[in-house]
Amino acid sequence: MLAARFDGNKRIAIAEVPAPRPAPNEVLLRVKRTALCGSDTKLWNKGAVFTPGHEIFGVVDSPGHVLDGRRCLVYIPVHCGRCVSCLHGDTHMCLTESVLIGWNRPGGYAEALAVPEQCLLPVPDDVPDDLAPLLLDTIGTSGHGLRLARPLAPEGPVLVLGAGPVGLGAIVALRDMGWRDIHVSDLRAARLPLAQALGARPHPVEDTTTRFALVAECSGAHAARNRGMHIVAPRGVVLLLGENDDPWTIE
Ligand SMILES: [Zn+2]
Ligand SMILES: [Zn+2]
Protein backbone atom coordinates (compact mmCIF):
# COMPACT_ATOMS: atom_id res chain seq x y z
CA MET A 1 0.00 0.00 0.00
CA LEU A 2 1.01 3.65 -0.25
CA ALA A 3 1.86 5.81 2.75
CA ALA A 4 3.00 9.41 3.17
CA ARG A 5 6.12 9.05 5.25
CA PHE A 6 8.12 11.74 6.94
CA ASP A 7 11.56 10.96 5.58
CA GLY A 8 13.80 13.17 7.72
CA ASN A 9 15.36 16.48 6.60
CA LYS A 10 11.87 17.98 6.16
CA ARG A 11 10.98 15.67 3.31
CA ILE A 12 7.83 13.66 2.72
CA ALA A 13 7.95 10.54 0.58
CA ILE A 14 4.91 8.81 -0.88
CA ALA A 15 6.26 5.32 -0.46
CA GLU A 16 5.18 1.76 -1.06
CA VAL A 17 5.17 0.11 2.37
CA PRO A 18 4.11 -3.34 3.60
CA ALA A 19 0.37 -3.61 4.30
CA PRO A 20 -0.42 -3.56 8.02
CA ARG A 21 -1.05 -6.92 9.70
CA PRO A 22 -3.49 -6.48 12.57
CA ALA A 23 -2.53 -8.28 15.77
CA PRO A 24 -5.14 -10.17 17.84
CA ASN A 25 -7.77 -7.68 19.11
CA GLU A 26 -6.90 -5.28 16.29
CA VAL A 27 -8.72 -4.49 13.05
CA LEU A 28 -7.68 -3.19 9.65
CA LEU A 29 -8.96 0.33 9.04
CA ARG A 30 -9.09 1.64 5.46
CA VAL A 31 -8.43 5.36 5.76
CA LYS A 32 -10.92 7.78 4.23
CA ARG A 33 -9.65 11.02 5.79
CA THR A 34 -6.76 11.96 8.06
CA ALA A 35 -6.65 15.60 9.09
CA LEU A 36 -3.41 17.58 9.09
CA CYS A 37 -2.51 18.70 12.60
CA GLY A 38 -0.17 21.46 13.71
CA SER A 39 1.44 19.14 16.23
CA ASP A 40 2.70 16.91 13.39
CA THR A 41 5.30 19.62 12.81
CA LYS A 42 7.04 18.48 16.02
CA LEU A 43 7.90 15.15 14.38
CA TRP A 44 8.64 16.94 11.13
CA ASN A 45 11.07 19.39 12.75
CA LYS A 46 12.75 16.59 14.70
CA GLY A 47 13.52 14.82 11.43
CA ALA A 48 11.51 11.74 12.36
CA VAL A 49 11.37 8.93 9.78
CA PHE A 50 7.84 7.74 10.35
CA THR A 51 4.29 7.66 8.99
CA PRO A 52 2.38 10.05 11.28
CA GLY A 53 -1.24 11.21 11.18
CA HIS A 54 -3.40 11.03 14.30
CA GLU A 55 -6.77 12.55 13.31
CA ILE A 56 -7.88 9.40 11.55
CA PHE A 57 -11.21 8.40 10.02
CA GLY A 58 -11.88 5.28 7.99
CA VAL A 59 -13.89 2.13 7.43
CA VAL A 60 -13.22 -1.13 9.27
CA ASP A 61 -12.20 -3.94 6.91
CA SER A 62 -12.10 -7.01 9.14
CA PRO A 63 -14.70 -9.56 8.00
CA GLY A 64 -16.39 -11.19 10.95
CA HIS A 65 -15.66 -8.32 13.32
CA VAL A 66 -18.72 -6.68 14.90
CA LEU A 67 -17.65 -3.29 13.44
CA ASP A 68 -16.76 -4.59 9.95
CA GLY A 69 -17.87 -2.05 7.33
CA ARG A 70 -18.54 0.66 9.92
CA ARG A 71 -17.22 4.21 9.60
CA CYS A 72 -15.02 4.85 12.61
CA LEU A 73 -12.75 7.46 14.08
CA VAL A 74 -9.58 6.44 15.89
CA TYR A 75 -9.14 7.32 19.55
CA ILE A 76 -5.36 7.36 19.57
CA PRO A 77 -4.37 6.45 23.17
CA VAL A 78 -3.80 2.70 23.27
CA HIS A 79 -4.97 1.68 26.74
CA CYS A 80 -5.16 -1.46 28.88
CA GLY A 81 -8.80 -1.09 29.95
CA ARG A 82 -8.04 -2.69 33.32
CA CYS A 83 -5.96 -0.24 35.41
CA VAL A 84 -7.43 2.21 37.93
CA SER A 85 -7.32 5.07 35.42
CA CYS A 86 -8.98 3.07 32.65
CA LEU A 87 -11.68 1.76 35.00
CA HIS A 88 -12.50 5.38 35.87
CA GLY A 89 -12.85 6.23 32.18
CA ASP A 90 -9.52 8.08 32.07
CA THR A 91 -8.17 5.88 29.29
CA HIS A 92 -5.94 8.74 28.09
CA MET A 93 -4.05 8.42 31.39
CA CYS A 94 -3.68 4.63 31.36
CA LEU A 95 -1.10 3.57 33.94
CA THR A 96 0.28 0.65 31.94
CA GLU A 97 0.24 1.80 28.27
CA SER A 98 1.68 5.03 26.90
CA VAL A 99 1.38 4.53 23.16
CA LEU A 100 -0.33 7.02 20.86
CA ILE A 101 -1.33 5.98 17.34
CA GLY A 102 0.35 8.36 14.92
CA TRP A 103 3.10 9.14 17.42
CA ASN A 104 4.57 5.89 18.72
CA ARG A 105 3.08 3.57 16.12
CA PRO A 106 2.20 4.23 12.47
CA GLY A 107 -0.58 6.71 11.86
CA GLY A 108 -3.18 7.61 9.28
CA TYR A 109 -1.22 9.20 6.44
CA ALA A 110 -1.53 5.86 4.70
CA GLU A 111 -4.11 3.84 2.80
CA ALA A 112 -4.70 1.65 5.85
CA LEU A 113 -3.50 0.94 9.37
CA ALA A 114 -3.98 -1.58 12.14
CA VAL A 115 -6.07 -0.24 15.04
CA PRO A 116 -6.75 -1.87 18.43
CA GLU A 117 -10.50 -2.50 18.52
CA GLN A 118 -10.73 -0.59 21.85
CA CYS A 119 -9.67 2.57 19.93
CA LEU A 120 -12.56 2.52 17.42
CA LEU A 121 -15.23 5.21 17.73
CA PRO A 122 -18.19 4.53 15.38
CA VAL A 123 -19.40 7.69 13.62
CA PRO A 124 -23.11 8.48 13.21
CA ASP A 125 -24.36 8.23 9.62
CA ASP A 126 -25.36 11.92 9.48
CA VAL A 127 -21.78 13.13 9.99
CA PRO A 128 -20.16 13.49 6.53
CA ASP A 129 -16.68 12.11 5.85
CA ASP A 130 -15.08 15.54 5.52
CA LEU A 131 -16.31 16.64 8.95
CA ALA A 132 -15.78 13.42 10.90
CA PRO A 133 -12.09 14.08 11.80
CA LEU A 134 -13.15 17.35 13.46
CA LEU A 135 -14.77 15.29 16.22
CA LEU A 136 -11.26 14.35 17.43
CA ASP A 137 -8.66 17.07 18.12
CA THR A 138 -10.86 20.02 17.23
CA ILE A 139 -14.12 19.38 19.06
CA GLY A 140 -13.14 16.34 21.14
CA THR A 141 -10.22 18.07 22.88
CA SER A 142 -12.13 21.23 23.65
CA GLY A 143 -15.38 19.44 24.51
CA HIS A 144 -13.59 17.13 26.95
CA GLY A 145 -11.90 20.04 28.76
CA LEU A 146 -15.08 22.09 28.89
CA ARG A 147 -17.05 19.16 30.23
CA LEU A 148 -14.62 19.01 33.16
CA ALA A 149 -14.63 22.80 33.66
CA ARG A 150 -18.35 23.46 33.37
CA PRO A 151 -19.42 22.24 36.85
CA LEU A 152 -16.68 24.39 38.44
CA ALA A 153 -17.28 27.65 36.59
CA PRO A 154 -19.90 30.15 37.82
CA GLU A 155 -22.49 31.72 35.51
CA GLY A 156 -21.20 34.58 33.39
CA PRO A 157 -19.43 35.45 30.18
CA VAL A 158 -16.85 33.11 28.73
CA LEU A 159 -13.76 34.07 26.75
CA VAL A 160 -12.01 31.86 24.21
CA LEU A 161 -8.38 32.87 23.71
CA GLY A 162 -7.14 31.83 20.28
CA ALA A 163 -9.42 31.22 17.30
CA GLY A 164 -7.48 28.37 15.74
CA PRO A 165 -8.98 24.89 15.27
CA VAL A 166 -9.22 24.12 19.01
CA GLY A 167 -10.61 27.59 19.79
CA LEU A 168 -13.27 27.20 17.11
CA GLY A 169 -14.07 23.74 18.46
CA ALA A 170 -14.40 25.28 21.93
CA ILE A 171 -16.93 27.80 20.63
CA VAL A 172 -19.02 25.03 19.07
CA ALA A 173 -18.82 22.95 22.26
CA LEU A 174 -19.65 25.94 24.50
CA ARG A 175 -22.77 26.71 22.51
CA ASP A 176 -23.81 23.09 22.58
CA MET A 177 -23.39 23.12 26.38
CA GLY A 178 -25.71 26.09 26.68
CA TRP A 179 -23.26 28.96 27.17
CA ARG A 180 -24.70 32.03 25.48
CA ASP A 181 -22.33 34.95 26.24
CA ILE A 182 -19.26 33.77 24.33
CA HIS A 183 -16.36 36.07 23.45
CA VAL A 184 -13.21 35.41 21.46
CA SER A 185 -9.79 37.07 21.18
CA ASP A 186 -7.04 36.44 18.66
CA LEU A 187 -4.02 38.50 17.68
CA ARG A 188 -4.72 37.50 14.08
CA ALA A 189 -7.83 39.45 13.14
CA ALA A 190 -8.30 37.36 10.00
CA ARG A 191 -9.28 34.44 12.19
CA LEU A 192 -12.17 36.23 13.87
CA PRO A 193 -14.91 36.15 11.19
CA LEU A 194 -15.14 32.36 11.33
CA ALA A 195 -15.34 32.49 15.14
CA GLN A 196 -18.10 35.08 14.80
CA ALA A 197 -19.97 32.92 12.32
CA LEU A 198 -19.94 30.17 14.95
CA GLY A 199 -21.48 32.50 17.52
CA ALA A 200 -18.67 34.26 19.43
CA ARG A 201 -18.24 38.02 19.80
CA PRO A 202 -14.77 39.53 19.17
CA HIS A 203 -13.11 40.82 22.32
CA PRO A 204 -10.14 43.23 22.21
CA VAL A 205 -6.91 41.42 23.07
CA GLU A 206 -5.69 44.32 25.20
CA ASP A 207 -8.88 44.73 27.27
CA THR A 208 -8.33 43.81 30.92
CA THR A 209 -11.44 45.39 32.44
CA THR A 210 -13.99 42.67 31.69
CA ARG A 211 -13.89 39.60 33.95
CA PHE A 212 -14.90 36.18 32.67
CA ALA A 213 -16.42 33.25 34.52
CA LEU A 214 -14.54 30.90 32.24
CA VAL A 215 -11.44 31.54 30.15
CA ALA A 216 -10.74 28.77 27.64
CA GLU A 217 -7.11 29.29 26.61
CA CYS A 218 -6.66 27.60 23.24
CA SER A 219 -3.45 29.14 21.89
CA GLY A 220 -0.85 27.65 24.21
CA ALA A 221 0.96 31.00 24.29
CA HIS A 222 2.30 31.91 27.73
CA ALA A 223 1.21 35.53 27.28
CA ALA A 224 -2.36 34.40 26.71
CA ARG A 225 -2.24 32.05 29.71
CA ASN A 226 -1.02 34.92 31.90
CA ARG A 227 -3.73 37.15 30.56
CA GLY A 228 -6.36 34.54 31.35
CA MET A 229 -5.17 34.50 34.97
CA HIS A 230 -5.66 38.27 35.17
CA ILE A 231 -9.10 38.54 33.65
CA VAL A 232 -10.80 35.50 35.15
CA ALA A 233 -13.59 36.35 37.60
CA PRO A 234 -13.34 35.37 41.27
CA ARG A 235 -14.23 31.65 41.53
CA GLY A 236 -13.89 31.46 37.77
CA VAL A 237 -11.97 28.85 35.81
CA VAL A 238 -9.01 29.14 33.43
CA LEU A 239 -8.95 26.09 31.20
CA LEU A 240 -5.63 25.40 29.47
CA LEU A 241 -6.46 23.66 26.20
CA GLY A 242 -3.55 25.05 24.14
CA GLU A 243 -0.41 22.95 24.04
CA ASN A 244 3.00 24.26 25.05
CA ASP A 245 6.04 22.16 25.96
CA ASP A 246 8.06 25.05 27.40
CA PRO A 247 8.13 25.66 31.17
CA TRP A 248 5.60 28.25 32.33
CA THR A 249 6.10 30.37 35.45
CA ILE A 250 2.97 31.67 37.21
CA GLU A 251 3.54 34.94 39.03
ZN1 LIG B 1 -3.80 16.72 16.32
ZN1 LIG C 1 -5.08 1.32 31.73
Tens digit of pLDDT at every position of the chain (251 positions): 999 999 998 899 999 999 999 999 999 999 999 999 988 988 889 899 999 999 999 999 999 999 999 999 999 999 999 999 999 999 999 999 999 999 999 999 999 999 999 999 999 999 999 999 999 999 999 999 999 999 999 999 999 999 999 999 999 999 999 999 999 999 999 999 999 999 999 999 999 999 999 999 999 999 999 999 999 999 999 999 998 989 999 88
CA distance 27 to 41: 28
**Comparing C-alpha atoms, which of 150, 56, 45 is closest to residue 100?**
56
**60, containing H or E segment:** strand 56-60
Ligand nearest to the CA of 37: 1
Give the H/E segment covering residue 56.
strand 56-60
Q: How many residues does the structure list for the chain?
A: 251
Instruction: Note the ligand closest to the C-alpha atom of 136.
Output: 1
CA 138 remoteness from chain centre: 5
**Measured in angstroms, how far is the CA atom of residue 145 from the centroid of ligand 2?**
20
Q: What percent of the chain has pLDDT over 90?
A: 92
Q: What is the pTM of this model?
A: 0.90
Full set of structural domains in the chain with CATH = 2-135 (3.90.180.10), 139-240 (3.40.50.720)
d(CA 93, CA 203) in angstroms, rounded, equals 35
CA of 198 to the centre of ligand 1 (A): 21
What is the whole-number distance in angstroms between the Cα of residue 251 and the centre of ligand 1? 30
How far from 60 is each of 5, 65, 115, CA to CA, in Å? Answer: 22, 9, 9
Give the C-alpha separation, 64 to 198, whole Å: 42
CA nearest 200: which of 242, 142, 136, 148? 142
